[in-house]
Structure 1
Amino acid sequence: MAERVVPEPQRRRRRPTRQGTVLSERLIVETALRLVGQHGAEALTVRRLGAALGSDPSSIYRYFRNTDDLLLAITDELVGRAQQGWRPSGDWRADLREIGLRVHASYQAHPQAALLAAHRSTGRAHETAAVEAILGVLRSAGFPDGEAVRIYHAFVDQSLGFAALDAAALALPAPARAADELVWQSSYGRLDASTHPNIAATSRLLAADMRRSGYPFALELLLDAIAARLPRAADGG
């Protein structure tokens, strides 16, 4: 999709498409999410979007400069879905836990899109609201600004890192995903205790645990680490 900026007054199409639908930024983003979910990154083209919308592909330029602009909108939509219905409780740990789990769940609901979006920064409305909310939780808890920013950085990178990792696994073809899970039984479960005593002792636990995302436990570990810094931070240390 080439760079092509349409002047703002001309950007909105009011006539219905061939399918009788009036185009909007939200409709295009939702359609793009559906196409990427069905066909992967290669579906993010003007031609395929136009076909799915029943509209001339060039009409997409009325809303997005190029496919990267559309991808940023998709990213912001995933962030926005994670925030729907969330309200701060005043308990910083519970609030951070819920935000992290919501972000992870939002990306897992769209694994193909998550692979494209988890590493992007948009500067758009939903992302800005999320940054404001997380920093607000941390500053209200008593962390000074420098510490709040460092914790924010670690917290967000952890949630998005796991979102991308788990999305990559979910995006695998079902046979490949099943084969990866079976490795923990078929390979690790058969290792001899004389050569691999630690794996042999824990192989059943490994096989069960590696089928699940490590994010919830990793999040608790991070929250523990944050809590350990709170008294020192609150004292200005």
Structure 2
Amino acid sequence: MTQSGTEAAPKAKPRRGRPPSTSLNQTLILDTALAIVESEGPDALTLRRLGADLGANHTAVLRHFSGKDEILLGLAERLIQEAMDGFVPAESWRQTLESLARRVRAACLAHPQVAVLVATRVSRRGAEFHGADVVIGALREAGFADRDAARYYRSLVDTAMALSAYEAAFAALDSQSQEGDRMAWRREYLAVSPAQYPNLAAVAPFLAEADADDQFETTLALILDAVAARAITLRPAT
């Protein structure tokens, strides 16, 4: 009883488990989307599934994102944010591009299911703008005019993402499929007929040595060697 003689209203019991929809925000939604994709694959990500995991009607998600596509762009930005976190350009343009490409690869391999889903997207957000500014700055430092810097930026970024997404797609496979593909270099390729495939047979013992790290670094070096060669042609003759 209260001092006035009337009974106090019982206190409302707090909700357990899922957060109320009023607590939704973009960060929480993207965290949940990321968890769904990483645990169950890209096909599991739907607005209804997001709503269920967030403890809200799926329409509540649409107060923060215009639709699933904007959520995917948010996940793409997350990958770039992870790659750019703490990044400082190196002393030379080439070292800057090498370091950034390795960071993009590491972020994609840390979240392979997400990388496969969003590697081709343009997030059009702050982290992507930061990355673009760094790459273009490195190319301008190498001596390229603005038009060429823009062209090479597009080519370099697309190639780095394609390489990383390709590797992420392999990482997203089940362990049995991964092992089967790895063993093919040591088994089927070593067993090819020298009479039918003379060139392949000659190098077959070395194919297994070219692991994922070697492939990435070799491809990166080839691309940057080509960029450096073109940059040399721009330098004035002495």
Per the normalisation by structure 2, the TM-score is 0.85
CA distance in 2, matches of 1:89, 1:186: 42
Q: For the residues of structure 2 that align with 1:95 and 1:163, how far apart are their CA atoms?
A: 17
1:99 aligns with 100
Measure the CA separation in 1 of the matches of 2:31 and 2:151: 33
Letter of the structure 1 residue corresponding to residue 71 of structure 2: L
Q: CA deviation at 1:161?
A: 0.8
Which structure 2 residues correspond to residues 73-112 of structure 1 after superposition, within 5 A? 73-112=74-113
State the alpha-carbon separation in 2 of the partners of residues 17 and 55 from structure 1.
13
Cross-structure match for 1:12: none
**CA separation in 2, counterparts of 1:86 and 1:93?**
15
CA distance in 2 between counterparts of 1:97 and 1:212 reads 13
Matched residues in 2 for 1:211 and 1:103: separation? 15
Q: Which moved more, 1:132-141 or 1:51-60?
A: 51-60
Partners of 2:16 and 2:50 in 1: CA distance: 12
Specify the alignment match of 1:233 in structure 2.
234
Closer, same or farther: CA 211–92 of 1 in aligned 2, 3 Å: closer
**1:78/1:211 Cα in 2 relative to 1: closer, same or farther (>3 Å)?**
closer
Q: Distance in 1 between matches of 2:212 and 2:132?
A: 31
Structure 2 residue aligned with 1:133: 134
Whether 1:218 aligns to 2:213 is no
Question: Is 1:160 equivalent to 2:164 in the alignment?
Answer: no
In the TM superposition, what whole-angstrom CA distance separates every residue of 1:26-72 from its partner, at most 9, and x where no partner exists?
A: 12112211110111112211222122223332221121111001001
| Bigger CA radius of gyration | 2
Answer whether contact 1:112 1:167 (CA < 8 A) is retained: yes
1:9 is matched with which residue?
none
Q: How many residues align?
A: 221
Deviation for aligned residue 1:181: 1.5
Query: 1:215 deviation in Å?
Result: 1.8
Overall identity of the aligned pairs, in %: 35
SS of the aligned residue for 2:65 comes to: coil
Query: Structure 1 CA distance, aligned partners of 2:127 and 2:87?
Result: 13
Letter in 1 for 2:159: Q
Q: Does the CA-based 8 Å contact 2:112-2:168 persist in structure 1?
A: yes
Runs of 4+ in structure 1 deviating by more than 4 angstroms, as ranges, are 210-213
Give the corresponding residue for 2:201: 200
1:66-115 alpha-carbon deviations (Å, 9 max, x no partner): 10010011101111111001011231010000111111111121111111
Structure 2 match to 1:41: 42
Q: CA deviation at 1:23?
A: 2.4
TM-score scaled by length of structure 1: 0.86
1: distance between equivalents of 2:62 and 2:185? 48
Task: Report deviation, 1:17.
Answer: 8.7
Conservation of the 8 A alpha-carbon contact between 1:17 and 1:55? no
Contact 1:79/1:127 (<8 A) preserved: yes
Aligned match of 1:150 = 151
